A = this chain, B = another copy of it.
Amino acid sequence: MSDPLVIFTPSGQRGRFPVGTPILTAARQLGVDLDSVCGGRGICSKCQITPSFGDFPKHGVQVGKDALSPINEVEQRYDNIRGLKTGRRLGCQATVQGDVVIDVPPESQLHKQVVRKRVEARDITMAPAVRLYYVEVAEPDMHDPSGDLERLLAALHDQWQVQDISADLHILRALQPVLRKGNWKVTCAVHQGDGDTGARITQIWPGFHEGSIYGVAIDLGSTTIAAHLCDLQSGDVVATSGIMNPQIRFGEDLMSRVSYSMMNAGGADEMTAAVRQAMADLIGQVAAEAQINADLILDSVIVCNPVMHHLLLGIDPFELGQAPFALATSDALNLNAASLDLGLHAGARTYILPCIAGHVGADAAAVALSEAPHKSRDLMLVVDVGTNAEILLGNTDKVLACSSPTGPAFEGAQISSGQRAAPGAIERARIDPETKAPRLQVIGSDIWSDEPGFDQAIAATGITGICGSGIIEMVAEMRIAGIVDAAGLIGSPEQTGTDRCFLDGRTYSYLVWEASKDGGPKITVTNRDIREIQMAKAALYSGARLLMDKFEVDQVDRVVLAGAFGAHISPLHAMVLGMIPDVALDKVSSAGNAAGTGARIALLNRDARGEIEQVVRQIHKIETAIEPRFQEHFVNASAIPNAVEPFAILNATVTLPDLSFNTGGVGDGSGRRRRKGR
């Protein structure tokens, strides 16, 4: 009679094993993805499985109630102390007694899937660079002298088949007391190695380490720094926080920071120290939020634009301020976190994604990792809008990339009533086409300004200004309502039929909110504000258009808006403004902080690092600064479209009035052609 058949679901892997074989052993021999930290000693409980009983014609087996050994003392004790879900067994304790079907639940898979919220986004497969191993180490023997470390490495090799491991000096220092405190049983965190060093023990605990270990994914932006603290075993984001980039005091935009370093001896070092301190603070903040010791953070991934990249590393960004915009290094970097003073564990590593070009940084690479245009059959346009816009266009055939100097207008800067996205800022607007009066929503509240309860909702802050997404919507609504013409001029009260338009110097402004009689602000959109937005959107559109020229296409299949801004902007209004090329509205999606997500993917999946390095090598970079067609597109794109196709998609038949306050030459008025038949 042959040995019992063991079938694992969902993988379908199967094999015959002698009676008495532990399920964990069977799983390992078949290569089934079943987790274990303690190596089958009944300590870690990571190898939980669910046996199924009954008739399985699909698999051709009948599973009897006695197909597994009865629950043993170890399992009983675990159930008493921690509780074992009904039907669950410990894979290292339950042994094969007859044909059996074993389900490996997702949380017991070492390479479990971390599901992303957006339907179209790929799940993340857990394969972090750092793993825990519990081992029993041989005691020293005078007759056969060897170091404690060497016996620990031998145990890792014998019990886990991991080899060619070294240990940092801090581990050597801690090793002897930890081994003895754990009575020669310890848990090691092992970093699997990277482009810079081989595998190494980065942390060690006496006995079995009950807690988890963590990694932090950081999106280091010009204006804000965001950190996601992730559990490296479950993949969960356990805390997220953001902080202002303190370099703002050296210059709002990147080029002014480059200038600062050129004009001030030690300026670059000063900025380096400032941003590192802020990152360390931020890491302390997320650790506190998650109530963990920052010492448990063993891995980190950073994405950022090239100037921030250099300033973080302590490289003077001088060369990035002038053609040919040479990066000191473009490849991915593997560093000791300590070399960046991040305040992590002494053995923690830092991975920085590769830069694509002098103007297209590791943040754009992270967006590519998150949105994966290189895996898309559709032609995808990915736009990450910040102080600079990074633009990717591609599909499985090829991917092109460029950056476009949109300036800070989309972030509310250089706008007369502009402000950062913060409570009190107008973030949404609708203008009544008849009365030309605006309805507003303010950050911190979901209530529109014409709805009951609005005044109470904003009582704490009042209305303080307009943020980036607010100004986009406002200008687009002003255009739809006929307050602004295609050239970007605000009409007079006579032309627009509303007193909200008023002479403000030599041009007209539009009154959004008047609270000055209550000591509040008077919020307006000036003609100069419109110009700023026109310049910014023209830069963005021209970059996208340039890539389309290079791709030799006239339209794209999908548009993904990324960046903190991409999360809030209304695709409809973006298209009204002509920020992005025409595409069906349902083909425009927002990816949120895709750069941050890319960082998180690289943190949780080590293979993704190799993937993005490979992709970046293949991305074709376009330098807008030396492309004559970029200038050409830019000139043509400064106008605000005089007709908006998305309305057709929404089954609306609105056509914008062409008020033509100024019919002087502004290109074709859109930089786009109407296309029929969509």
Whether B145 lies near A313 (C-beta < 8 A) is no
Question: In chain B, what residue has the closest Cβ to A149?
Answer: B329
Whether A173 lies near B327 (C-beta < 8 A) is no
Find A166's partner among B195, B328, B330 (CB 8 Å cutoff): B195
Whether B145 lies near A176 (C-beta < 8 A) is no
Please measure, in the bound complex, the distance between the C-alpha atom of A81 and the C-alpha atom of B443, giving whole angstroms: 75
- The residues in A between 105 and 158 inclusive whose CB is less than 8 angstroms from any CB of B are 139-143, 145-150
Answer whether residue A318 sits at the interface, using C-beta atoms and an 8 A cutoff: yes
Please measure, in the bound complex, the distance between the C-alpha atom of A175 and the C-alpha atom of B328, giving whole angstroms: 7
Whether B325 lies near A358 (C-beta < 8 A) is no
Whether A145 lies near B314 (C-beta < 8 A) is no
Contacts of A175 in B (CB 8 A): 315, 328-329
**Chain A window 319-331, contacts with chain B (Cβ cutoff 8 Å), 1 for yes, 0 for no:** 1000111111111
Whether A176 lies near B330 (C-beta < 8 A) is no
Find A147's partner among B149, B166, B326 (CB 8 Å cutoff): B326
Interface-lining segment among A69-77, A416-424, A621-629: A621-629
What distance in Å separates the Cβ of A52 from its nearest Cβ neighbour in chain B?
48
What distance in Å separates the Cβ of A546 from its nearest Cβ neighbour in chain B?
14
Please measure, in the bound complex, the distance between the C-alpha atom of A356 and the C-alpha atom of B150, giving whole angstroms: 12
Contact A145:B357 (CB < 8 A) given known A173-B315, A197-B196:
yes
What distance in Å separates the Cβ of A187 from its nearest Cβ neighbour in chain B?
18
Contact A329:B623 (CB < 8 A) given known A195-B166, A197-B197, A324-B141:
no
**Chain A window 354-397, contacts with chain B (Cβ cutoff 8 Å), 1 for yes, 0 for no:** 01111000000000000000000000000000000000000000
Contact A327:B166 (CB < 8 A) given known A142-B623, A176-B319, A197-B196:
no
- The residues in A between 160 and 194 inclusive whose CB is less than 8 angstroms from any CB of B are 166-167, 169, 172-173, 175-177
Answer whether residue A339 sits at the interface, using C-beta atoms and an 8 A cutoff: yes
Please measure, in the bound complex, the distance between the C-alpha atom of A335 and the C-alpha atom of B325, giving whole angstroms: 35
Answer whether residue A645 sits at the interface, using C-beta atoms and an 8 A cutoff: no
* Residue among A167, A176, A195 with most chain B CB within 10 A: A176
Whether A324 lies near B142 (C-beta < 8 A) is yes
Find A327's partner among B147, B198, B329 (CB 8 Å cutoff): B147
How many A residues touch B, CB cutoff 8 Å? Answer: 48
Answer whether residue A485 sits at the interface, using C-beta atoms and an 8 A cutoff: no
Contacts of A169 in B (CB 8 A): 313-314, 335, 339
Contacts of A411 in B (CB 8 A): none
Q: List 30 A-B contacts (CB under 8 A).
A: A142-B323, A143-B626, A145-B324, A145-B356, A145-B623, A146-B327, A146-B330, A147-B326, A147-B328, A147-B355, A148-B326, A148-B328, A148-B329, A149-B328, A150-B329, A150-B331, A166-B195, A166-B196, A169-B335, A169-B339, A172-B315, A173-B313, A173-B314, A173-B316, A176-B315, A176-B316, A176-B318, A196-B197, A196-B198, A197-B198
Considering the complex of A and B, which 5 residue pairs feature the smallest CB-CB distances, nearest first? A147-B330, A140-B326, A145-B357, A149-B329, A147-B329
A169-B339, A176-B316, A176-B318 known, 18 other contacts, Cβ within 8 Å: A140-B325, A142-B325, A143-B623, A145-B324, A145-B325, A145-B330, A145-B358, A146-B330, A148-B319, A148-B328, A167-B329, A172-B313, A173-B313, A173-B314, A173-B316, A176-B328, A196-B197, A196-B198
